[in-house]
Amino acid sequence: MDIKIVKNQEEGAKVAFEVFKEAYENGAKVFGLATGSSPLGLYEKIRQSSLDFSDRVSVNLDEYAGLSSEDEHSYHYFMNEQLFAAKPFLKSYLPDGLAEDIDAEVERYEKILQDNPVDFQLLGIGSNAHIGFNEPGTPFTQRTHKVALAQATIEANKRFFEREEDVPRFAYSMGLQSIMDAKQILLIAFGEKKAQAILNTVKGDVTTDVPASILQKHPNVTIIVDEAAAALLNR
């Protein structure tokens, strides 16, 4: 794991963009993308760049079940706003939050991943070390699945909704194995709320209690953390 400790989020976005751009220039064709606040600065840098994605493909990590792509809380809406409107890809895939047949949707998405092997996967991390929506306890062999969100995740994500009751209880997510299949991974984490998750991910045992700890077994992972998120690493 290549751990890059940066001063603040602004510097984090700059360094993330350098890592991203290098992957782009080295010919990464399929980009696994993430939502949440952690990649916002990177997306801003990409929007401001001259990078062209008309011959590249994106596959998103996850989506809430029950929300349409037009719902402003959906990850599809987020991606349109933050990236796709300014930087259209040849093709962009996300799970369909309104799919009626859950099993068929899981199968459809897994097939998309098999047909479009991810070259570069971007990740945030939950305070319980979830990646995508792979909550503690998820088997490392898991591929795309429908998941029940952990209470900690509902709590963390309620800030984006009017009321806690409005946070969807289920989501579709690439599994841990799907994430590990990516050739290169970039994880971004900012703030003290992520410090314990980062410590456990980087220095703890590889255990399903800490979903992101599986990244220790991946040959090409970069982790960008600000000083607050890195605070427990040097103790």
Catalytically active residues are 62, 128, 130, 135
Contact predicate 4/190, CB 8 Å:
no
Based on the shown chain and the rule CB under 6 A, indicate whether residue 38 belongs to the binding site for ligand GLP.
yes
Based on the shown chain and the rule CB under 6 A, indicate whether residue 134 belongs to the binding site for ligand GLP.
no
Based on the shown chain and the rule CB under 6 A, indicate whether residue 124 belongs to the binding site for ligand GLP.
yes
- Rounded CA gap, 102 and 108, in Å? 10
Burial class (CB in 10 A: 0-12, 13-18, 19+), 3: middle
Considering beta carbons, is residue 95 or 132 the nearer one to ligand GLP? 132
Based on the shown chain and the rule CB under 6 A, indicate whether residue 151 belongs to the binding site for ligand GLP.
no
Q: What binding mask, one character per residue, do residues 42-81 give for ligand GLP by CB under 6 A, x or -?
A: -------------------xx-------------------
Number of chain positions touching ligand GLP (CB under 6 A):
14
Based on the shown chain and the rule CB under 6 A, indicate whether residue 178 belongs to the binding site for ligand GLP.
no
- Rounded CA gap, 121 and 29, in Å? 11
Considering beta carbons, is residue 31 or 50 the nearer one to ligand GLP? 31
HSE-CB of 205 using CA atoms within 13 angstroms: 3
Alpha-carbon 130 to chain mean position: 10
Considering beta carbons, is residue 27 or 95 the nearer one to ligand GLP? 95
Q: Please, what sign has the CA dihedral across residues 201, 23, 46, 73?
A: negative
Please report, as ranges, the residues that interact with ligand GLP according to CB under 6 A: 34-38, 61-62, 124-126, 132-133, 153, 157
